[in-house]
Structure 1
Amino acid sequence: MDYLNGKLYLICAFSLAGTSVISARFVMGKLGTFTITAVSLFFALVFLVSLCGKQLVRYIPSMSFRTFLFLSLQALCGIFLFRMFLLSGLYYTSAGEAGILTGATPAITAFLAMVVLREPVSRRKLAGILCTVGGILIIQGILTPGNGLSLEHLGGNILVLCAAACESAFNTLSRISAVKAAADLKESSSPIAQTTIVTAIALILCLIPAMLEHPLQELSGIGLMEWAALLWYGVFVTALAFICWYSGIKRCGAFTAAAFSGMMPFTALLLSTVVLGESADYQQWLGGFLVIAGMILIGTEGRDAASPLSRNRKSRGKEQVKE
């Protein structure tokens, strides 16, 4: 049941994250990259502090320096660098294509799980990784003869792929942190408190570059739709998505997280056609299908190695039996 709940948390997390490309489209060209990030993080932080103020006061004193360091790295990779690359890439490519290109995240995360976390890889998982890579190549148009893709468009897609790599690094760091926290019985992890701290650190990182974009002048010129997009970006894409993420990653392994991160490009592709009215040709849909197929192959092979949470509970149960 714990493992199933973890999967549901991950589906919610990446589905909400997939709406980031759409909400960002409403403010692109009207606000600077770091202004968008800083304002949305401010909304997220206000929401989170009102949600878990007392819990945060209890969690911070018990937090070790190692945990703080890992959360700082997660804020750098998962929010600051991810949004910097994604928002910069959206200036040169479409929201639908950018959303699908974030589908590189499962393959990169699976690769890091093998290299960094030493998680075993089976033929099915390897096939899932190859499906994801093939989908990215088809979306990019590399396999299409006579592709007339401009260098500017290619540069935008490369920036989006850099965002996917940052997301994968965040996923791996979160998994390492979850395992270490579960191994240390003295330190309990709180998804809401973790999300609040990561959001606060990322906001601090964004403040200086945001001030260079003259944010007050830009913010005074936007309308209700843009403010609503920023609020959505903060509360749903950041706060709720990260709470679901931290709740899921402590119950599931890195390969499961890699698989369900494919929900991000799938959600972005659907919403870009429905909400923004962007057209997707057969090549994009074929690439998207391969990305989803890779997600299914990686995620349906069977349960990962026992989650740190379940292992922790089992070890406690054995200790109680011995006593």
Structure 2
Amino acid sequence: MGLALIILAAFLWGVSGGIAAMLMERGWDPLVVSFYRGAIGFLCFAAWWLARFATIPRPDRTTVLWAALAGLGVAGNFTFYFLSISHANVAVAVTLMYTAPIYVYLISLATGVVRLTPGFVVAIASILVGVALLTQLVGGDRLSGLTLAGVAAGIAAGMSYAVFLFGFRNAAIRASPVVALGIAFLIFLLVLAPIVDHREVAAAPLSDDVHLFVLLGLFGAGLSFLFYVLGLKRASAVAVSLVAAVEPVTAALFGLVVLGQTLAPGQWLGMVVILATVTALGVRRRSV
């Protein structure tokens, strides 16, 4: 059940990525798009928290600190991801961001949460190869203009994702996932607010694209992160980080069906590698 919830969350993230691409094609700044994704997510969890205020226990100080750490991870992930795109390109940025399973596994290994097994090593390698093929980092002419700053920012995005993963896991264990998400997204907004274009932020609700911003927030944060945290409580951090790589597959299919983009043979192969790895991981965990 935990892995199924994570896959559903990753599917919604992929769809939200397609919606974000549509908004950016219409001229919206990427940071403004990200800001509204987090803002609508925060409103969803804040409303849920207020509606159940009498029944949801108040978070203790430790929970708030873990949730704040998760919020910093989300903010760092988005910020470094866009910096990587500006200094390199989308293919490099996405591939480097999905090195997160490596950092998650190393932290889990160092803290004794998991043991070094050939299965996890193969799964991590397969996910990274699949994402590289899907983004055409392998077999495509995408390395021109690559800079050290772009590579560093992409790696930092992956590390930030790992920080989010551990922060949310510890916060959700101690309190309601809704409370943890609300605190995390509040920190995200506080970090991102000073660096966005405030004129675009004010113009978005009055534009013809307001419905896309709402769908982006609901799919990219409101619903997906709820499924994600519920799944995180039922699956290991390493398995979650691997299964979440379904997101680029969904984003590629969205581009194919909705945006009219095409996929090269290597990209189809990458999708097969990712889905096969996710399926094998799910079957392995069910049999243990």
TM-score with structure 2 setting the length: 0.81
Match of 2:50 in 1: 53
Is 1:27 aligned to residue 23 of structure 2? yes
Match of 1:174 in 2: 168
Q: Distance in 2 between matches of 1:264 and 1:102?
A: 12
Q: Distance in 2 between matches of 1:207 and 1:119?
A: 37
Is 1:206 aligned to residue 192 of structure 2? yes
Q: Distance in 2 between matches of 1:285 and 1:100?
A: 16
CA deviation profile, 1:236-280 (whole Å, cap 9, x unmatched): 211111111121111222233123212212211211211222222
The root-mean-square deviation of aligned C-alpha atoms, in Å, is 3.4
Which secondary structure does the structure 2 equivalent of 1:46 belong to?
A: helix
Identity %: 20
Match of 2:10 in 1: 14
Which secondary structure does the structure 2 equivalent of 1:118 belong to?
A: coil
CA deviation profile, 1:46-66 (whole Å, cap 9, x unmatched): 333333314346647x32222
Which segment is superposed worse, 6-15 or 234-243?
6-15
- Of 121, 126, 129, which aligns to 1:126? 121
Q: Distance in 1 between matches of 2:148 and 2:20?
A: 20
CA deviation profile, 1:58-77 (whole Å, cap 9, x unmatched): 647x3222211111110111
CA deviation profile, 1:175-206 (whole Å, cap 9, x unmatched): 34445x2xxxxxxx212222222222211222
After TM superposition, list the pairs within 5 Å mapping 1:117-156 onto structure 2: 118-138=113-133, 144=139, 147=141, 149-151=143-145
Q: Contact 2:59–2:179 at 8 Å: present in 1 too?
A: no
Q: Distance in 1 between matches of 2:36 and 2:201?
A: 14
CA deviation profile, 1:74-97 (whole Å, cap 9, x unmatched): 01112x122223345556645x88
Is 1:281 aligned to residue 267 of structure 2? no
Q: Distance in 1 between matches of 2:105 and 2:219?
A: 26
Q: Distance in 2 between matches of 1:87 and 1:151?
A: 16
- Of 64, 71, 74, which aligns to 2:70? 74
* Amino acid of the structure 1 residue aligned with 2:163: A
Which segments of 5 or more consecutive residues in structure 1 lack a partner in the other structure? Answer: 182-188, 306-323
Which secondary structure does the structure 2 equivalent of 1:121 belong to?
A: coil
Q: Distance in 2 between matches of 1:268 and 1:209?
A: 26
Q: Distance in 2 between matches of 1:11 and 1:275?
A: 21
Match of 1:318 in 2: none
Q: Distance in 1 between matches of 2:249 and 2:155?
A: 15
Q: How far did 1:23 drift?
A: 1.9
Match of 2:181 in 1: 195
Paired residues, number? 286
The structure-2 alpha-carbon separation of the partners of 1:17 and 1:236, relative to structure 1 and needing over 3 Å to count, comes to same
Which segments of 5 or more consecutive residues in structure 2 lack a partner in the other structure? Answer: none
Q: Distance in 2 between matches of 1:208 and 1:57?
A: 34
The structure-2 alpha-carbon separation of the partners of 1:140 and 1:260, relative to structure 1 and needing over 3 Å to count, comes to closer
Q: Distance in 2 between matches of 1:243 and 1:192?
A: 7
CA deviation profile, 1:264-307 (whole Å, cap 9, x unmatched): 122112112112222221222223332333333443322599xx
Q: Contact 2:256–2:262 at 8 Å: present in 1 too?
A: yes
Point out the structure with max Rg over C-alpha.
1
The structure-2 alpha-carbon separation of the partners of 1:69 and 1:202, relative to structure 1 and needing over 3 Å to count, comes to same
